[in-house]
Amino acid sequence: MAAVTGWRRSGSSGAVDDLRRLAPPSPATVGSPRRTSSASGGGGAASNAVQVAMARLEDEFRHVLSSRALDLEIEALADLTSLSMCSDRTNSADVAEEAAAADEDDSVSSSVGRRSSYRSLRSIREIDLLPADAISDLHAIASRMAVAGYGRECVQVYASVRKPAVDSALRRLGVEKLSIGDVQRLEWEVLEAKIRRWIRAARAAVRGVFASERRLCFLIFHDLPLSSSTITTATHDAPFAEAVKGAALQLFGFAEAISIGRRSPEKLFKIIDLHDAIADLLPDVSDIFAASKAGESIYVQAAEIRSRLADAVRGILSEFENAVLRDPSKTPVPGGTIHPLTRYVMNYSSLISDYKTTLSELIVSRPSACSRIAPEGNENAPSFPDLDLADPDSQLPLAAHLIWIIVVLEHNLESKASLYKDAALSHLFVMNNVHYIAHKIKDSPELRGLIGDEYLKQLTGKFRLAATRYQRTAWLKILNCLRDEGLHVSGGFSSGVSKSALRERFKSFNAAFEEAHRVQSAWYVPDTQLREELRISIAEKLLPAYRSFLGRFRHHIENGRHPELYIKYSVEDLETSVTDFFEGCPPSLHNRRRSHG
């Protein structure tokens, strides 16, 4: 390098001295942004010397800019664990949230679950990219060149040296060169991880790298007479914009690719995270880029991407609602237990309520009219419940969506319930699922707050209705065996009990109960408390009735032949058998267990 430029470099101060020797500021050129028209015109030798000097200065500028750049720990800017470059506001609450155990029913993956804390740059942090003396040398060189009318060359060199440095910094932060096609081909779990990394990298890139680059450019160029035939208000930012534009577009390109991906429900929460991260960055992006024309387009693009992500959020929510509506009902879930769809939807809804801050801003319209009105050929579409007490003007659109989601879920569950051949099981299925829905709502204060107690009351009502129906369908016939009517041959109580009728009754009761016991033990009520309550309520009706029946009529049987054929069970036997109900496994296994225990 020294050979090319022909002068020895004796440190940066030597370079500045050489400057003064080679390109003395002539009176005609100082302060004039124009080219050295008068100075170079007649005096060919002088202007030649200037040109040669400028060429050397250009090289010197390049040399200082590239060789004096500081070795920075760029990666630390985005490092989740290292706090050295991060500002002090760490959020330990977020960490606790992240570590919290996921719902054991959680069919939504736990990485989608709670909001992760993205500990990275929270505000602009300008870092020194070069030492101060190098910067002042660069400023001196740039100002000589600008005054001599060679500002363009200087700007060119600046951009050509800083651009690869910026690109390299972004590479070190983990920003990848992914095309839209690449992003489309990747599995969502892979993309989720990339989104997490991207959020950290973007904060470091915008608030650290770009902010620092802008400052460097400012320090070198801000007060210089940079000539341009079209002076815009911010020519001084132009070198910075040029150095950074490609990297910035590449950075935001990833977020853009995510925003135009296919909309599927699993993506909702990560996309909200991405949206929020960009919304959070926009003010800083504006600060850093809005000054120059080239930079402005970056701000515009970032804002566009945020808007697209908002659209994607709305679209995904719609897609989710449709998916719940369309979930096919082919085979009934065994044992009438909680359907996986119910768990999925309630977990999803719970998460929606967790994200309600952003979602309340983004979801501005109620569920679309065309989904609510029964479309042609689909007479069975659910209709929006008449919640007179919920004033449409005061109810958040998000809340309306949540209620709609549950309405749609219930509607879908109805068709799933109709798959059961056994009506009692069908009712039990409804009980299980509605109970679960109500339970999840009560469990989450946010969800409950959004959905409201009015709707919760409706759910409870539905539950009770299903419970009543179950009882009637499953037990009416059995309990009818224990009635008085039809057993007495003449009018009075104490005289004339038809023994044959009585024997029939006992036989019917035994058969029916055994059948119920066999069948309903295989049914499943997952919620322990509900299971117990159900058993208790059965026992409450069954045992007194049987006790009373036995008390009244047993002596008739015991006085006859083979009483054991008819009175097979004591009240205690029945009581024990009831505990087999709703265990989800056949009673024979139970008996075997009990005999061991």
Partner 1 sequence: MPATDSSSAAAPLTSFGRSFLSHRRDQIPPPPPDHHSHSHTQHPSSSDLEIDAFHRHAADLLHDLLSDSNSDPSAPDLLSLAWTRRLLDSFLICLEEFRAILFALADSQPLSRPPLDRLLLDFLDRAVKALDLCNALRDGLDLIRQWRKHLAIAAAALAPAPAAQRGEAQIRRARKALTDLTILMLDDKDAGGVVGQRNRSFGRAGTTRDSLPHGHGHHRRSSSGGSSGSGSGSHLRSLSWSVSRTWSAARQLQAIGGGLTVPRANDIAATGGLASAVYAMGAVLFVVTWALVAAIPCQDRGLQAHLTAVPRTFPWAGPLITLFDRILDESKKKDRKHSCGLLKEIHQIERCSRQLMEVTDAAEFPLADDKDSEVQEATQELVQVCGSLKDGLDPLERQVREMFHRVVRTRTEILDYLSRPHNAG
Residues forming the site for partner 1 (CB under 8 A): 1, 4, 35, 37, 40-42, 44, 47-48, 50-51, 54-55, 59, 62, 66, 149-150, 152-153, 156-157, 159-161, 163-165, 167-168, 171, 176-182, 184, 227, 229-230, 245-247, 249-250, 253, 260, 262-263, 300, 304, 308, 311, 315, 318-319, 322, 325-326, 370-371, 375-378
Q: With beta carbons less than 8 A apart as the criterion, state whether 75 and 172 touch.
A: yes
To the nearest whole angstrom, how small is the minimum distance from the Cβ of residue 179 to partner 1? 5
Give the whole-angstrom CA distance, residue 332 versus residue 325. Answer: 17
**3-state SS, residue 583:** strand
Q: Which of 316, 455, 469 has its CA nearest to residue 389?
A: 455
Give the whole-angstrom CA distance, residue 446 versus residue 355. Answer: 10
To the nearest whole angstrom, how small is the minimum distance from the Cβ of residue 397 to partner 1? 18
Q: How far apart are the first and last CA of the chain?
A: 91
Q: With beta carbons less than 8 A apart as the criterion, state whether 272 and 205 touch.
A: no
Comparing CB distances to partner 1, the nearer of 100 and 374 is 374
Give the whole-angstrom CA distance, residue 251 versus residue 45. Answer: 49
Comparing CB distances to partner 1, the nearer of 158 and 429 is 158
Phi, psi of 381, deg, nearest 5: -70, 145
To the nearest whole angstrom, how small is the minimum distance from the Cβ of residue 339 to partner 1? 19
To the nearest whole angstrom, how small is the minimum distance from the Cβ of residue 163 to partner 1? 5
For tokens 């990394």, name the residue: 197
SS3 of 238-252: HHHHHHHHHHHHHHH
Comparing CB distances to partner 1, the nearer of 150 and 436 is 150
Comparing CB distances to partner 1, the nearer of 91 and 179 is 179
Output DSSP code: residue 233.
T
Comparing CB distances to partner 1, the nearer of 277 and 325 is 325
Comparing CB distances to partner 1, the nearer of 263 and 503 is 263
To the nearest whole angstrom, how small is the minimum distance from the Cβ of residue 58 to partner 1? 9
To the nearest whole angstrom, how small is the minimum distance from the Cβ of residue 553 to partner 1? 58
To the nearest whole angstrom, how small is the minimum distance from the Cβ of residue 188 to partner 1? 17
Comparing CB distances to partner 1, the nearer of 315 and 584 is 315
To the nearest whole angstrom, how small is the minimum distance from the Cβ of residue 48 to partner 1? 5
Structure tokens at 100: 């919290």
Comparing CB distances to partner 1, the nearer of 87 and 156 is 156
Bridge partners of 524, per DSSP, are: 583
CA 403, 405, 407: angle at the middle one, nearest 5? 70
Q: Which of 319, 313, 175 has its CA nearest to residue 244?
A: 175
Q: With beta carbons less than 8 A apart as the criterion, state whether 368 and 319 touch.
A: no
Comparing CB distances to partner 1, the nearer of 87 and 371 is 371
To the nearest whole angstrom, how small is the minimum distance from the Cβ of residue 148 to partner 1? 10
Comparing CB distances to partner 1, the nearer of 74 and 578 is 74
For tokens 């155990």, name the residue: 101
Amino acid, res. 509: F
**3-state SS, residue 497:** strand
To the nearest whole angstrom, how small is the minimum distance from the Cβ of residue 291 to partner 1? 17
To the nearest whole angstrom, how small is the minimum distance from the Cβ of residue 242 to partner 1? 8
Q: With beta carbons less than 8 A apart as the criterion, state whether 383 and 357 touch.
A: no
Burial of 296 (0-12, 13-18, 19+ CB in 10 A): middle
Comparing CB distances to partner 1, the nearer of 176 and 422 is 176
Comparing CB distances to partner 1, the nearer of 10 and 179 is 179
Burial of 365 (0-12, 13-18, 19+ CB in 10 A): exposed
Phi, psi of 477, deg, nearest 5: -60, -45
To the nearest whole angstrom, how small is the minimum distance from the Cβ of residue 263 to partner 1? 7
Comparing CB distances to partner 1, the nearer of 181 and 392 is 181
For tokens 């009831």, name the residue: 578
To the nearest whole angstrom, how small is the minimum distance from the Cβ of residue 369 to partner 1? 12
Structure tokens at 449: 């707050």
With a CB cutoff of 8 Å and minimum separation 6, the contacts of 347 are 103, 105, 106, 107, 108, 440
For tokens 């040029």, name the residue: 242
